[in-house]
Structure 1
């Protein structure tokens, strides 16, 4: 079963997603963040410290089909946090250090969608319950810069594809989860 949990920044979506896997015998937690500075290192360490000790953690953001497989233990839930960070990582890795104003966003989105296709296929084959966490990025104003506009558009389309593939979708607002699918 694939579940998507979406919401704004600091909406409580992570806590809600964790509650969905709380009763699993074990949890494979996939963290997609990368550490680039001291602030991010502190955030990641805080999240590591908050996770239950019996949860298994994989820190990666690509080739997720290598760890979400048909061979996963059905009693071990999978929690992936978070899709929008994964999209960010994919965009910057594919952008190869070029100025984002010069990126070919259509080509980059095609690469992101390939990774999302592989993720959806992996989740469909996996016997474990899988919970994906993402940010709802389309409820604010139109960003003023090109990178932010394209990111919002790409992340929004990724979220739509994941929601379509999901068996259940939760929207979390102010710490309250509302099942919308």
Structure 2
């Protein structure tokens, strides 16, 4: 089992080093889709708040959201955790 904590920090590093976020995300998702073991990923939900005022923060929010969606698409299970309570959103019950 592999635990990756946190995708939000990973995408921040991609942005800060001015790399192609879409290509980096595709490469990560392709790797995850072909992984035969169990992988647990942790990410921050950045799209539920206000729209950030500065450009880099908006780029982070958008890239993070796209990454979370892409990872969720290839995941067998997805949970949203708030206040210590886990809500399963994939597969739906």
TM-score by length of 2: 0.88
Listed as ranges, the matches of 1:84-103 within 5 Å are 84-94=8-18
Q: Aligned residues, how many?
A: 90
Counterpart of 1:115 in structure 2 is: 24
SS in 1 for 2:37: coil
Matched residue, 2:66: 157
Write the deviation string for residues 41-92 of structure 1: whole angstroms up to 9, x where unpaired.
Answer: xxxxxxxxxxxxxxxxxxxxxxxxxxxxxxxxxxxx0110111100000111
Greater RCO, 1 or 2 (C-alpha within 8 Å, sep 6+): 1
Cα deviations by residue, 1:114-158 (Å, 9 ceiling, x for unpaired): 222222222222221011111100000111111111211111111
What is aligned with 2:7? 83
Could you say which structure has the larger radius of gyration?
Answer: 1
Tell me if the contact between 2:32 and 2:74 (Cα under 8 Å) persists in the aligned partners: no
Structure 2: distance between partners of 1:141 and 1:87: 20
SS across alignment from 1:153 = helix
RMSD: 1.2
Any gaps of 5 or more consecutive residues in structure 1?
1-76, 95-107
Partner of 2:34: 125
2:53 alignment counterpart: 144
Provide runs of 4+ in structure 1 moved above 3 Å. none
Q: Which structure 2 residue ranges, 5 or more long, are not aligned?
A: none
